[in-house]
Amino acid sequence: DVFSTMDIVLMYLKNSSPIEKPLIAVLLLHFDLPVEQHQKISIYIENAVNAIAEALDASLNDGNVQKKCCRALLILCGHFSSTGKIPTKTTILKQAGYNNGISELKSPSHDEEDQRFDITISSEDDEEEEERHEEFMMNLLETLVGDGESPFLKSISRCLDSTHVDLVRASLITVTWLSSSLSKQYNAGLHLPAFLAIISQLKGILQNGELELKTLASMSLFNFSKISECRTLLKIMAEDIAPLLHGLVDVIWTAKKLHAILCRENL
């Protein structure tokens, strides 16, 4: 049965080396589990998420572990997105509305906007599958975020400060996916302290990062702006963030949208 298989994978995860942990952990999150087994699901998710966090910390000083972590994060984001595909630089820039020098900045349609790193499932899925998916996602998101002391968020935050661009990029993609997923599950009630450091780091990337990283940062902040507590914080920080968006509003749609929110403009 599926739980017997997962128990074997979990045992292997607990005894694996740092270089093996991230991909095994992501594999553990791929299993399709029944909703009624909430407690068991929580145990698997918690072990997988903590293993990813542990590997991320190890990746700061080990290039081989870092490569596996980057791959694992991209697989994680791709698996739980609407497309089910691993995000690439091209798709990310397209989703952000990056126009690459085109004279007219095109904003996505409502349908396209809803598909950016979202966690909705296709209409042909039956109600039971939808319920199972939503239950699992809520459990996963709660474990990733925690009560503000989540090991995963702390590790992601440390990786965002890394000098390794690939690790920063993979971490930013993860924050983009996570913020999008959270914005669909939590219009309010999110434990804000969990994101104070990350939102400040995103502001720093807007200031000093390369264009692709700035694109990801603007997407993440735009997603956070859909959550009431985060939107309030962003408006408090508006005087610091808005000027950093000035050079991006003509080439990145999400930056334009975020700037309008912070400055209370009409689009």
- Whole-number Å distance between alpha carbons of 181 and 196: 18
Considering the entire predicted model, what is its pTM?
A: 0.86
Q: Which is more confidently placed, 137 or 44?
A: 44
Instruction: Give the pLDDT confidence score for residue 147 in this predicted structure.
Output: 72
113 pLDDT exceeds 80? no
Q: Which is more confidently placed, 110 or 201?
A: 201
**Do residues 202 and 175 lie in contact, with contact meaning Cβ atoms separated by under 8 Å?**
yes
- Report the chain's mean pLDDT, rounded to a whole number: 83
pLDDT tens profile 142-196: 899 887 678 999 999 999 999 999 999 999 999 999 999 888 876 556 667 778 8
> What is the mean predicted confidence (pLDDT) over 127-151?
80
231 pLDDT exceeds 60? yes
CB atoms within 10 A of CB 71: 15
Domain containing 171 equals: 2-263
pLDDT tens profile 152-163: 999 999 999 999
Residue-wise DSSP of 91-138: HHHHHTT--TT-SSPPPPPHHHHHTTT-----TTS-HHHHHHHHHHHH
> What is the mean predicted confidence (pLDDT) over 222-249?
91
- Whole-number Å distance between alpha carbons of 221 and 199: 7
Instruction: Give the pLDDT confidence score for residue 126 in this predicted structure.
Output: 64
Contacts of 3 (CB under 8 A, 6+ apart): 37, 40
> What is the mean predicted confidence (pLDDT) over 94-98?
72
Domain count, the chain: 1
